[in-house]
Chain A
């Protein structure tokens, strides 16, 4: 018999119809030709003749011509697996709607994936936003990226951030060839008269061009013009937004009004915008700095210098240029400029130097969490894709193209990542708010902390991460998910067709999740251990319940040194009598107090040091009770006594670092100490070392002298009490005010807070690693769970068979948990190796802990084992409860 359908199919092939439509036409026309052929046979035609005639009547060219115009625009209702002839956008819309239905049909998977992505993206955005603000854009003025800080550098003394002498600044400014402008800032306190009570404000004297160099504009009025920096015309002030709000009631008419600062009258010329806080976060006002350039003083180093290099010039070029000038000054003024070089460093980099150590770790944390989140999402999607293979097979069989199915899977994953991204943004928002309300208020000492928020870069970053994650996570499952043997699947050959490829991928994904989590855990653990060690080191003082505050004895009244001594004695007496106070002392500086007073040691005993052997050491003037109050132990000799008076021979205490540095460890007591200014002291006692700047540095050489012999105006009042409370602070303020209401009390701060501030970068690194580690661990647990659960589903039949053959629950538990733990062991081993590398990198941040701290690593292994066991146990319990009959029936 003739194969009519083949003839028709061949003719139709040139129309390239959709398969289903073609099949319909072939069937219908085939029947027609068949009927015609049989009719012709009945009419007496031979088979050959009938076939010939039927074919001649077929006239395919004519038919194809007619169909061509018809079928091209032919529309059919969309059937499952059919490709509707629609535009790309409506196709995408269909895909998204389909994807949305898919999400709703598997709420658990959807929720887990969205939460996983949300956590990953949320943590990323929060940390990224924080980093961006803290480490890269701490200020709010336009030129921050171009500006540089310029310091005097003394390589011999190890000083790299030295303040600048006015004479040197003036020469740099005049002779440089690389800067658009150089400006100087001198921070100072200003007493703002407010009735009888003076209020001490943090102010800054700034040289010509300060505001324009920073590139900032006032919110109200104007900043300074060149004339304002001329002597006699400098009684003008620019207010900070904060001061304007609190002290001037945000009065827009404030410009032009007069204020009393340090008993002189100033005219307010402008108010700065809200976020302008340079050079320190608590800057409240700016007044012009008048430099008396005829003087060219080079002995007093008190200026902070900021420069705007010409465009296109490197830091090295600017440094070289200024050093050329510095070299000339060295030979011209050997007395003051010997060994003084110039150091130029990016302003942002300098301002964020405390935070920067934490930056790489925050990045590592971000990266690893993101990797774990991606691995987890890919994992879950892959398992889901494996489970949904039959559905895919059916659609492929019904004629859907592989590209179409891929596109739908892709749309599904994209939709998931968009939802995940939205959740992530929300989490980031709350995360940042939580960060801002952390118990330690970082805003005081980390520039930019107060303006942390989700910034636009972070937003774009998040969206990019979210969409990329969708693409990456969608790609693997989509590729594997569509590589399906349709026939096998439809015949019901079980869900393992794809399983072989994909379960290998899922296993490796889980292994990598575990590995990344271990790395993060190790990092966080080691840094935390290091913090703990730091907190338990001997600082040379006991910060617990010690309160510090600054007091300034200014004015005529304290001109005579005796008046200062009297005030100090009376103050100590009054404050000691307060309830709860156990000890009171005064000192010019406190450890970690940001204010350092140094003197140069010119000789010991009969040895007078040559120029290059002279070293500056920390010089602290203290009252008798200071050491007891702060808790610095006396190692040898005696402390100061009431007999050490102005009219008795000068005495001094030195610390262990001093004897090591100047006496080669010799017994110091009885030695004579000579300072560069010619002052001689007899060393009467040896003190323990005290940390002064960084918590890890305990080798600062120090000299202590009695306040009675050198009473100065600016001092710290230090108290030790049972506890620190606002009431105590008020009581102390009350005593000072009762003695002299014009003496301001400011910078009231517990000593512990100074310690905390120094720990901030380490805490930030530790927190971000810890948060990252926790989330990574959680995600890894979900990953382990999903893979083991999938493994159980795949082997339901086998497990049923084992139970039927007599396997006990214990056997099944061992089987399932063993399968999961194998992955954990491999991942754990890889992770530990990686962790060793990470902690090695961390060693700069570590203190008192080895990079291979066994306690930390043991801790990680037990945490991981516990989490992994739980994640494996849940699916194992399900496997143990299987009814063998049902399980055997399971396909």
Chain B
């Protein structure tokens, strides 16, 4: 997959982009609660710098997901650290994540069958 999220807006339409970005965030907070910077950094690291999330796009998305009840933010204070807002996946978020995964799997399978793209 060669989608550079914010840098090449013309390849896929907004919905696909947003859908993929949503899935990435949900997937990352599925394992454990993470704060915004950690989420951005993990996306960049795990995609080898191909996918990037900056402040301007990440946080509106986080707030929207929170508002839809898919993730839940909470402030965490740890000794000798500044407090941070961590996001965790909610039950509703888990449902949506599963849905996203299934859709994307079907999509890639279809691409593979047509154009021989192997997502692996």
Identify the A interface with B (CB < 8 A): 24-25, 27-29, 31-33, 35-36, 39, 57-60, 62-63, 66-67, 70-71, 74
Contact = CB atoms under 8 A, between A and B. Distances in A.
B93 interface: no
Contacts of B84: 28, 31
13 contacts: A24-B85, A27-B83, A28-B84, A31-B35, A31-B84, A32-B36, A33-B55, A36-B55, A58-B55, A58-B56, A59-B54, A66-B61, A71-B63
B60 A32 contact: no
B57 interface: yes
B9 to A, nearest CB: 12
B105 interface: no
B59 A28 contact: yes
Given A57-B56, A60-B56, A70 B37 contact: no
B67 interface: yes
Contacts of A67: 59-60, 63
A63 B59 CA distance: 8
B60 A66 contact: yes
B67 A74 contact: yes
A74 B63 CA distance: 9
A70 B64 contact: yes
Given A70-B64, A71-B63, A31 B57 contact: no
Contacts of A66: 56-57, 60-61
A63 B82 contact: no
A71 B55 CA distance: 16
The A interface is mostly helix, strand or loop, or mixed, namely helix
Contacts of B36: 28-29, 31-32
A228 B82 CA distance: 105
A525 B64 CA distance: 77
A39 B60 CA distance: 22
Q: Would you call the interface of chain B mostly helix, strand, loop, or mixed?
A: helix
Interface in B29-59: 35-37, 40-41, 54-59
Given A71-B63, A74-B63, A28 B54 contact: no
A564 to B, nearest CB: 107
A368 B40 CA distance: 74
Nearest to B62: A28
A29 B54 CA distance: 11
A39 B58 CA distance: 18
B37 A35 contact: yes
B55 A31 contact: no
B117 to A, nearest CB: 31
B64 A57 contact: no
B63 A59 contact: no
Contacts of A74: 63, 67
Given A32-B36, A32-B37, A74-B67, A63 B57 contact: yes
Cβ-closest 6 pairs across A and B: A66-B60, A63-B56, A59-B56, A57-B54, A35-B37, A62-B56
A60 B54 CA distance: 11
Contacts of B54: 57-59
Contacts of B63: 67, 70-71, 74
A174 to B, nearest CB: 91
Interface residues of B, number: 20
Contacts of A57: 54-56
A62 B41 CA distance: 20
A36 B37 contact: yes
Contacts of B83: 27
Interface hub of A39, A58, A66 (most chain B Cβ within 10 A)? A66
Contact of A25 (B37, B41, B59): B59
Contacts of B60: 63, 66-67, 70
A39 B38 CA distance: 12
A508 B55 CA distance: 61
A74 B67 CA distance: 7
A35 B36 CA distance: 10
B37 A31 contact: yes
Contacts of A63: 55-57, 59-60
Contacts of B59: 25, 28-29, 32, 63, 67
A74 B73 CA distance: 14
A516 B90 CA distance: 68
Contacts of B82: 31
B56 A28 contact: no
B37 to A, nearest CB: 4
Q: Of B40, B41, B55, B58, which is in contact with the most chain A CB atoms at under 10 Å from its CB? A: B55
B19 to A, nearest CB: 16
Contacts of B64: 70
A10 to B, nearest CB: 14
A71 B62 CA distance: 12
B79 to A, nearest CB: 17
Given A28-B59, A29-B36, A57-B55, 12 more contacts: A29-B59, A31-B82, A32-B40, A36-B37, A57-B54, A57-B56, A62-B56, A63-B56, A66-B57, A67-B59, A67-B63, A74-B63
A539 to B, nearest CB: 91
A60 B55 CA distance: 9
A63 B57 CA distance: 6
A827 to B, nearest CB: 57
A323 B54 CA distance: 102
Contacts of B58: 32
Nearest to A54: B55
Contacts of A29: 36, 55, 59
B96 to A, nearest CB: 18
A67 B63 CA distance: 8
Interface in B82-119: 82-85
B66 to A, nearest CB: 9
Contacts of B56: 57-60, 62-63, 66
A32 B67 contact: no
A32 B85 CA distance: 10
A70 B85 CA distance: 18
A256 to B, nearest CB: 84
| Residue with the highest number of chain A CB atoms closer than 10 Å, among B60, B64, B67, B82 | B60
A70 B57 contact: no
B83 to A, nearest CB: 8
B76 to A, nearest CB: 12
A71 B54 CA distance: 19
B95 to A, nearest CB: 22
Contacts of A70: 60, 63-64, 67
A81 B57 CA distance: 31
A28 B38 CA distance: 12
Most buried by B among A31, A32, A35: A32
Contacts of B55: 29, 32-33, 36, 57-59, 63
A55 to B, nearest CB: 10
Contacts of A62: 56-57
Nearest to A35: B37
Contacts of A58: 54-56
* B37, B40, B56, B57: residue with the most chain A Cβ atoms closer than 10 Å: B56
A811 B57 CA distance: 74
A62 B53 CA distance: 13
Nearest to A67: B60
Nearest to A56: B54
Interface string B12-40: 00000000000000000000000111001
A220 B85 CA distance: 85
A14 to B, nearest CB: 15
A32 B35 CA distance: 9
A312 to B, nearest CB: 71
Contacts of B85: 24, 27-28
Contacts of A33: 55
A23 B63 CA distance: 15
A58 to B, nearest CB: 5
B110 to A, nearest CB: 31
A663 B37 CA distance: 121
Nearest to A66: B60
A212 to B, nearest CB: 76
A363 to B, nearest CB: 63
